[in-house]
Amino acid sequence: MVLKAFFPTCCASADSGLLVGRWVPEQNSAVVLAVVHFPFIPIQVKELLAQVQKVSQVHVAVLGTWCHRQQEPKESLGHFLEGLGAIFSHDPWLQLCRERGTRFWSCKAYHQVSTTPDKSIEDQVMLIFYDQRKVLLSWLHPPTVLPDCQAGDTTASAGGLADIFDTVARSEVLFQNNQFDEGPVRLSHWQSEGVEASILVELTKQASGPVCLLLASLLSLLSAVSACRLWKLWPLSFIRRKLSTCEQLQHRLKHLSLIFSTQKAQSPTQLMKKANMLVSVLIDVALGLLLLSWLHNNNRIGQLANALVPVADRVAEELQHLLQWLMGAPAGLKMNRALDQVLGRFFLYHIHLWISYIHLMSPFIEHILWHVGLSACLGMTVALSILSDIIALLTFHIYCFYVYGARLYCLKIYGLSSLWRLFRGKKWNVLRQRVDSCSYDLDQLFIGTLLFTILVFLLPTTALYYLVFTLLRLLVVTVQGMIHLLVDLINSLPLYSLGLRLCRPYRLAAGVKFRVLEQEAGRPLRLLMQINPLPYNRVVHTYRLPSCGCHPKHSWGSLCRKLFFGELIYPWRQREDKQD
């Protein structure tokens, strides 16, 4: 039987002593956590292990002995190492030894309870070195397809090593409690020389409590104000549901409430989610402050206000030229003269009203833009959401044109389809939601034929107006969609996890791989366990944050079908379609 002994690399040069760790019978493995150095009193070692087991809920025991013969002669230990198995009874009993003057290791395991009289059974030991610090700080993810290893390497899935990682993680108290190192029992592990930046970490922990409590109280007050019944009245609820700015502010309020919550994270997933939200908010505010400084330098807000009215006049002029072209003979097509003139004048009147409104608001545009620019201090996403709402308001006349053309076109399409069923002796059964047979008299067929002919001859004119204004509306929706995608990227991108994957790849582990260190006849096999980091695409997929961005809810087929039949397509999602 082959026994796997996981030995920390930090203990390879430690003084001789006892191997303290956990035995995993399911894996037939021994996980060494620390080395207890000579001299020691056995009862103190047992008290230490009992204290660690009580705190960490990990069955920690003495697994065997460790002898570093390059530092101590064999005679100094004598028969003391052999007699320790009777004091610390553990089956199997490990004996690890590093030969003097060589790089070879001796690894043996004995079963003290043997069926053979006066003889113990010796097992083969496979010695696996691991970086204790990396294993402790890493979080092992579910198994995945690992990348190909180099020659001489072997791979292992994360599922079979979950107990190993869990043992090291739950034994953190053994590494961080200084009384274990300064007491009567002296240990060697990866933190034997001290904890880095422990003072800064403790000061941060002490200061974060009152600050989080104060901010949580303020955020709860804001949440109570936003949940007031006044906001549920019809005009305010409609505006709140349709404006991207309101949705983004509510989304950020939820993020801040979760970040500054005094409730401790229950799992590494929740802790990582909090860290990603905090970094996302900080990056968002930093980008917003950069935008705010850029807008207020060189009076760029005044320049934008002065350029807005001429741009609006230019757009209105181009729309008027477009309508005049449609009212003539566009592309040589022969339109219905009466309907063409009615639709053209109707839309020209809307353009006139819109330009009058823009000129009426022109004295206040600079003040509006100045206050809008101040909102960038809340974050780049808030500024982009306001920009999307401003584009929606400035192109409201194009939206009206699209709605008018789509409704008129849809009415004619459904009228033609209904009259076409009349010619075939069919009708739509509203109650059963199906097409049934029906017999019509002569008058009904005559009126149906007359209406069908009128709609057929009016359809090209209506379809042309619908096509032009639909293309304009799709152009506006595309611009808004790009802004929403940028907002969604800032909201949902797990920046902290990506930075952790870039700077500390071992923290997000997808599995491990083994590299052969020594493989000679008559010598134990020695391997080095290395952590395979999680791929970037899995990091984004695993830690992606929820967002309030506008995601398309239609496939390309359904979108084309709606456009063909004249059904309205809105750029926003209804509240019931959103997912938390």
Note the pLDDT of residue 205: 58
Q: For residue 134, is it within any domain?
A: yes
Residue 505 has pLDDT above 60, yes or no: yes
Which stretches of 51-120 are assigned E, i.e. beta strand? 61-68, 93-98, 105-111
Q: Is residue 205 located within the same domain as residue 323?
A: no
**Domain presence at residue 545:** no
- What burial class does residue 324 get, using C-beta atoms within 10 Å of its C-beta: 0-12 exposed, 13-18 middle, 19+ buried? exposed
Task: Check if the beta carbon of residue 131 is closer than 8 Å to that of residue 113.
Answer: no
Kindly state whether residues 247 and 183 are assigned to the same domain: no
> What average pLDDT does the segment 455-477 reach?
91
Q: Which domain holds residue 413?
A: 295-492+550-577
pLDDT at 466: 93
pLDDT, residue 194, reads 46
* HSE toward the beta carbon, residue 542, CA cutoff 13 A: 22
Residue 262 φ then ψ, to 5° = -80, -5
Mark whether 250 and 187 lie in a shared domain: no
237 domain residue, yes or no = yes
240 and 282: one domain?
A: yes
By the 8 A CB rule, do 281 and 252 touch? yes
Residue 13, domain member (yes or no): yes
Give the list of residues 6+ apart from residue 462 with CB closer than 8 angstroms, or none.
Answer: 339, 343, 405, 408, 409, 412
pLDDT tens-digit series, residues 47-63 = 888 888 888 888 888 88
Q: What pLDDT, on the 0 to 100 scale, is given for residue 299?
A: 82
Asked which of 287, 315, 338 is the last residue of a domain, the reply is: 287
Per the prediction, the chain carries an average pLDDT of: 79
Mean pLDDT of 565-575: 66
Number of domains in the chain: 3
Between residues 520 and 307, which one has the greater pLDDT? 307
Residues 6+ apart with CB under 8 A from 480: 388, 391, 392, 550, 571
Confidence band of 580 (pLDDT split at 50, 70, 90): very low
Q: Judge whether residue 483 has pLDDT over 60.
A: yes
- Asked whether residue 131 is domain-assigned, the answer is yes
Domain-ending residue, one of 262, 287, 312: 287
Same domain for 163 and 214: no
Q: Are residues 424 and 369 in the same domain?
A: yes
Confidence of residue 284 (pLDDT cuts 50, 70, 90): very high
pLDDT-based confidence at 212, cuts 50/70/90? low
| 33 lies in the same domain as 97 | yes
pLDDT digits (tens, 9 = 90+) for 530-557: 888 989 999 999 899 887 755 555 677 8
- Domain end residue (candidates: 287, 305, 338): 287
pLDDT of residue 402: 92
User: Does 140 fall in a domain?
Assistant: yes
Cross-strand bridge partners of residue 21: 32, 61
Cα 207 from Cα 209, distance rounded (Å):
6
Residues 466, 517 share a domain: no
> How much is the pLDDT for 199?
54
Cα 344 to Cα 331, 401, 402, 463, 490, distances in angstroms: 16, 11, 13, 14, 43
Model confidence pLDDT, tens digit, residues 377-434: 888 999 999 988 888 888 888 899 999 999 999 999 988 988 888 888 888 877 887 8
pLDDT at 467: 92
Contact indicator for 29, 6 with CB cutoff of 8 Å? yes
Q: In this predicted model, which residue has the larger pLDDT, 32 or 220?
A: 32
Which of the listed ranges 108-117, 133-142, 537-546 does the model predict with the highest average pLDDT? Answer: 537-546
Report residue 85's pLDDT band, with 50, 70 and 90 as the boundaries.
low
Question: 238 or 294, which is more confident?
Answer: 294
pLDDT for 103: 66
**Among 252, 256, 276, 271, which Cα is nearest to 549's?**
252
For the whole model, what pTM was predicted? 0.76
Flag whether 71 is in a domain.
Answer: yes
Q: For residue 252, which of 375, 68, 349 has the smallest C-alpha distance?
A: 375
Are residue 417 and residue 562 in the same domain, yes or no? yes
**Spatial separation of the C-alpha atoms in residues 112 and 90, rounded to whole Å:** 8
In this structure, the answer to whether residues 176 and 218 fall within a common structural domain is no
The residue whose two tokens read 């391997």 is 527
Domain assignment present for residue 22? The answer is yes
- Is the confidence at residue 459, as pLDDT, over 60? yes
Query: How much of the chain is in helix, strand and coil states, percent to nearest 5?
Result: 60, 15, 25
Claim to verify: residue 459 and residue 334 sit in the same structural domain? yes
Domain match, 484 and 339 both: yes
Beta strand 153-156 with 426-429 is unpaired
pLDDT per residue over 346-373, tens digit each? Answer: 999 988 888 888 888 888 888 888 888 8
